[in-house]
Amino acid sequence: MKLIKIFSIVLLLSFTKTTKADEGMWLPQLLQTLNEARMKQLGMKISASDIYSISKSSLKDAIVSFGGFCTGEVISDKGLLLTNHHCGFDVIQNHSSLQNNYIRDGFWAKNFGEELPNKGLFVTFIVRIDNVTKAALAGVTASMTEMERQNQIDKNLSEARKNAKKETRQDVMTRAFFEGNQYFLFVTETFRDVRLVGAPPSSIGNFGKDTDNWVWPRHTGDFSMFRIYADKNNQPAEYSPENVPYIPKRSLKISMSGISEKDFTMVFGFPGRTTQYLPAIAVEQIRTVNDPAKIAIRDKALQVIDGFMRKDEGIKIQYAAKYASIQNAYKKWQGEVLGLTKTNANAKKLDYEKIFQQRVEANPAFANYKSLLQDLNTEYNAFKEYGHARDYYTEIMSKIELFTIASQLNALANAYESNAEKGYDARLKSVKAFIDGMIGEYNVNVDKKLFEALMPLYANEQAAVFVAPEFSSKLKSVNQNFSILANELYNQSDLYNEAALKALLAKPAAEAVASIRAFEAVQLFSALQKNYQSAVQKPSVEISNRLAKLQRSYTQAQLEVMKEKKFYPDANSTLRVTYGQVGGYIPKDGANYGYATYLDGVMEKYKPGDYEFDVPEKLRDLYSKKDYGAYGTNGKMPVCFIASNHTTGGNSGSPALDAYGNLIGLNFDRVWEGTMSDINYDPSICRNIMVDIRYVLFIADKFAGAGHLVKEMKLVYPKKKK
């Protein structure tokens, strides 16, 4: 019986044409040792040193962290940069008005002079990565408290950063890996003059909006273009009209050959955060406690904002980026809950833990790890109610701008009260910058409704200890009527009036602080914050510290005990490579998804005048004439495709590269069934979604008439090579 079973598995493996998938977000400097052989087996034609090298030009020299939250890549020798539409969206929004509505109509600079500068936007190249684990952990002992340990490491790392070899224009940062078991140092180069070059209208760049977000099959042209500017010596510089287009060390070549099933692909970028090595109990808490709490709060917030955006074009521009970002995680968490449930992540983790425990018990060398899982369970159980309260507090407070402003002013007043003028002045600049950034994206009617919708959750949906007594008594004074309370707080205040706020901050410190303290909203915020600190943070800090330590040993223990597994560090916004193959998947019984979509699918989804599925007339024309230029294939225009690369948030805008390292696509999303891959990757249903690079070129050239940009690029035809 057993033999037959093994036989049929072997047969299955050799005959199915399934896409090969390897879990993992790998460090580029370790590819040679850990991954190169496997990557070649999957079809890669270049070597690890073509991807990352510090002695010669390599692909990494074309990759940037875009603003610290997305990825971008250089695609011309004039510093032209490609990233997603949704990564450039805040910038596009900031340049938009009812007169020049670039969100709705798109934007294309016809020459360098028309490219739009962006205050605060930067891109960062990685020059070099060094392992500094030994230096970081010098003097660290097992008996240290978490605080002592961290202090020692911070001291060591600051020393390591000081001693790092680098040019003056370069920066150094260090990051913890494997929960603080390893440390790496990054020498970086940051450019701060990054200008908007082009963006399609949202009806292309965000086609399908929320309905299609996180979903395959997909038809979104999620791209925008920027340009890096440098000073006359091609060095990083603050914005100046004198700056010139940056001449990069490396730019990506663009493949016009298209993709086929099982083609090798890799994605090179800056994945933000994953938690792959949690115990079952932690995953179960995410699935049943934290995700549902955050989803419920965002559900209410989104309903409010959406209601206003649909009725008012001005609010639609103002709240577009905020709405998209709240919606994005909201929908992802729902997919995550479904995926964790459907793939039975809990049972899988428990099986894994059983094997772990058996091996630990069987080997005296692992004696230290014996009670690890049990201790983790104890601490996670103890943390559960605090985790819920933390999510409630942070989710609600961050959605109500009355509180985000109050929080800034409160911090300013605190700085004055503890450090007089010196403290006040030190803080003032960041408060002003915050107000500058938020005020244009704020509408008092929307915010008031948010208060009325969310504060009942705060007051009524959690244990009484987590509700500030001042808030309860305030509520009592208005007979539990949240809109009376909202009127009281919002009507009296200069808190969200830009001119009044600026006047306030121009006063001498003592006077300004007196006015700040007089705001009822600031008093209320301060009460809520104090209660949060005393009821949530204080009692849970000990548990968190123990958890951090346990989680660190559990990660180390897994490395030692589960030897047959290849471990990669959790994503932490550092440069990584992930690789796989182009291929579809089976989302559910009876359905089989293909790996590519075409413009035909855009037209199938087309709903004239719709909020999400309208299609610009020009694109419909090009479609009806099949006018695809050199970008179509067999009479069809490719739009998106999927592959088995293991990606996460932050990988947006990452290049998808072919076997030779040519650009074939632009990563922008994952499929619904696989959104739980941050916690529990499953190769059968986890796929990343990319815009086909030919669609990017088609839209820029044929749709937008920006063929001059395509002329800057180097197009190649690798498949003809064979």
Enumerate the active-site residues: 86, 222, 652
- Phi/psi of residue 306, each to 5°? -60, -40
* Interacting partner of 647 out of ligand ARG, ligand GLU, none (Cβ under 5 to 8 A depending on kind): ligand GLU
Write the binding mask 660 to 689 for ligand ARG: x where contact by CB under 6 A, - elsewhere: --------xx--------------------
| Structure-block tokens of residue 110 | 């016809």
Residue 58 Cβ vs ligand GLU, minimum distance, rounded to whole Å: 23
Task: State yes or no: residue 23 binds ligand GLU (CB under 6 A).
Answer: no
Confirm if 473 and 479 have CB atoms less than 8 A apart: no
Using the contact rule CB under 6 A, the part of the chain among 255-263, 289-297, 320-328, 653-661 near ligand ARG is 320-328
Task: State yes or no: residue 572 binds ligand GLU (CB under 6 A).
Answer: no
* Interacting partner of 648 out of ligand ARG, ligand GLU, none (Cβ under 5 to 8 A depending on kind): ligand GLU
Please give the Cα distance from 664 to 641 (Å, whole number): 10
* Interacting partner of 651 out of ligand GLU, ligand ARG, none (Cβ under 5 to 8 A depending on kind): ligand GLU
Options 188, 251, 328, 410; binder of ligand ARG; rule CB under 6 A: 328
Nearer to ligand GLU, 87 or 103 (CB): 87
Task: State yes or no: residue 60 binds ligand ARG (CB under 6 A).
Answer: no
Nearer to ligand ARG, 427 or 670 (CB): 670
Nearer to ligand ARG, 29 or 213 (CB): 213
Residue 353 Cβ vs ligand ARG, minimum distance, rounded to whole Å: 30
Task: State yes or no: residue 265 binds ligand GLU (CB under 6 A).
Answer: no
Please give the Cα distance from 348 to 284 (Å, whole number): 12
Nearer to ligand GLU, 555 or 647 (CB): 647
Q: Are strands 63-66 and 123-131 parallel, antiparallel or unpaired?
A: antiparallel
| Structure-block tokens of residue 452 | 């009325």
| Structure-block tokens of residue 364 | 């005296």
Please give the Cα distance from 697 to 221 (Å, whole number): 10
Task: State yes or no: residue 210 binds ligand ARG (CB under 6 A).
Answer: yes
Q: What are the angstrom distances between the C-alpha of 10 and each of 7, 14, 182, 262? A: 5, 6, 38, 20
* Interacting partner of 210 out of ligand GLU, ligand ARG, none (Cβ under 5 to 8 A depending on kind): ligand ARG
Options 29, 118, 213, 257; binder of ligand ARG; rule CB under 6 A: 213
Q: Interaction with ligand GLU in 34-73: which residues (CB under 6 A)?
A: 70
Using the contact rule CB under 6 A, the part of the chain among 279-287, 307-315, 365-373, 662-670 near ligand GLU is 662-670
Confirm if 124 and 190 have CB atoms less than 8 A apart: yes
Confirm if 646 and 24 have CB atoms less than 8 A apart: yes
* Interacting partner of 294 out of ligand GLU, ligand ARG, none (Cβ under 5 to 8 A depending on kind): none
Using the contact rule CB under 6 A, the part of the chain among 200-208, 275-283, 360-368, 668-676 near ligand GLU is 668-676
How many residues lie near ligand GLU (CB under 6 A)? 10
Tally: H helices and E strands in the chain: 27, 19
Task: State yes or no: residue 284 binds ligand ARG (CB under 6 A).
Answer: no
Task: State yes or no: residue 647 binds ligand GLU (CB under 6 A).
Answer: yes
Whether the upstream peptide bond of residue 217 has omega within 30° of 0, thus cis, is yes
Using the contact rule CB under 6 A, the part of the chain among 202-210, 493-501, 524-532, 656-664 near ligand ARG is 202-210
Using the contact rule CB under 6 A, the part of the chain among 23-31, 129-137, 209-217, 475-483 near ligand ARG is 209-217
Task: State yes or no: residue 646 binds ligand ARG (CB under 6 A).
Answer: no
Q: Interaction with ligand ARG in 61-90: which residues (CB under 6 A)?
A: 86
What ranges in 343-371 are assigned the alpha helix state H? 345-362
Give all strands (DSSP E) within 170-327, no chain letters. 171-177, 182-191, 193-199, 224-230, 244-245, 254-255, 264-269
| Structure-block tokens of residue 683 | 């190769």
How many residues lie near ligand ARG (CB under 6 A)? 13
Please give the Cα distance from 695 to 599 (Å, whole number): 9
Q: What are the angstrom distances between the C-alpha of 200 and each of 113, 587, 702? A: 19, 31, 12
Options 102, 177, 579, 668; binder of ligand GLU; rule CB under 6 A: 668
Residues 6+ apart with CB under 8 A from 367: none
Options 209, 249, 250, 300; binder of ligand ARG; rule CB under 6 A: 209
What is the DSSP track for 488-506? HHHHT--TT-HHHHHHHHH
Confirm if 246 and 258 have CB atoms less than 8 A apart: no
- Phi/psi of residue 55, each to 5°? -105, -15
Residue 696 Cβ vs ligand GLU, minimum distance, rounded to whole Å: 16
Q: What are the angstrom distances between the C-alpha of 584 and each of 261, 488, 587, 683? A: 8, 55, 9, 11
E strand or H helix that includes residue 123: strand 123-131
Please give the Cα distance from 668 to 71 (Å, whole number): 10
Task: State yes or no: residue 572 binds ligand ARG (CB under 6 A).
Answer: no
Please give the Cα distance from 637 to 255 (Å, whole number): 15
> Angle at the Cα of 686 (from 682 to 687), degrees rounded to 5?
155
Task: State yes or no: residue 652 binds ligand GLU (CB under 6 A).
Answer: yes
Residue 279 Cβ vs ligand ARG, minimum distance, rounded to whole Å: 26
Name the site residues for ligand ARG (rule: CB under 6 A): 86, 206, 209-210, 213-214, 324, 327-328, 649, 652, 668-669
Using CB under 6 A, list all residues that contact ligand GLU. Answer: 70, 647-652, 668-670
